[in-house]
Amino acid sequence: ASSSAYASVGYLKGTYAKSEVSVRLIASKSKVAPLQKVSIPRLELLGAMLSVRLADKVMASLEVKSEHIFYWSDSMTVLWWLSRHSRGLKTFVANRVAKIQRRTALLNWNYVPSKLNPADLATRGILALDLKEDKLWWESPAFLTKGSEAWPRNAVKEAREGIKEVTKTKKFVQLDVYHLTQSPSNELVNWRLNPDPFPSWARLKRVSAWVHRFTGHSLA
């Protein structure tokens, strides 16, 4: 992804007699970035979601099994998000991460260095004459012609941008216990807190609200 667009490029790898391997471009898709400003990591996540949709179409057309599909991203942030539980992420990221996790296996996601990522050509732009001769675009990164042992290491680390999308853990507020003044009938219907220990009216209102929340009684 870039600030202007996000894209996905798909390749078909074939192994023939005498162990000959061929990798060729089979499909690509790009989209203009939303008019509303979106961070680059989130745009990268949209690119990952686009890759899933593109792969689904390829699998349906060529009857390729999902376990033979591999996904690549040059965003450590996206790969880190995908390795986490979606419920711990902010809404925008969580919704898309959940969709990707339901439709793909984490083991099929891999890291590709930016300089070897052909999708960058679609997001940053390239002249048609240059694209015609660009082997990275038409034939994929060279490591795809080799076994998985030659693939780039998929060492996902916690990225600063990724941590920003993690929801804050809810904290419980510790309340002091105060004496409740009860009505003669001993029913907590028209109850109130004893105001003497409170240093201010604001403090009394705040604690009263919390007590009301936990007991469910009216403040009237």
**pLDDT of 168-200, one tens digit each?**
655 544 445 444 444 454 444 455 667 667 677
Concatenating the DSSP letter of every residue in the chain gives: --SSEEEEEEEEEEE-GGG-EEEEEEEEEEEEPPSS---HHHHHHHHHHHHHHHHHHHHHHHT--GGG--EEES-HHHHHHHTS-GGGB-HHHHHHHHHHHHHS-GGGEEE--GGG-THHHHHH---HHHHHT-HHHHH--GGGGS-GGGSPP------HHHHHTBPPPP-PPP----PEEPPTT--TTS-EE-STT-SSHHHHHHHHHHHHHHH-----
**pLDDT of 7-22, one tens digit each?**
999 999 988 877 788 8
pTM of the complete model: 0.71
**pLDDT of 10-56, one tens digit each?**
999 988 877 788 899 999 999 999 999 999 999 999 999 999 999 99
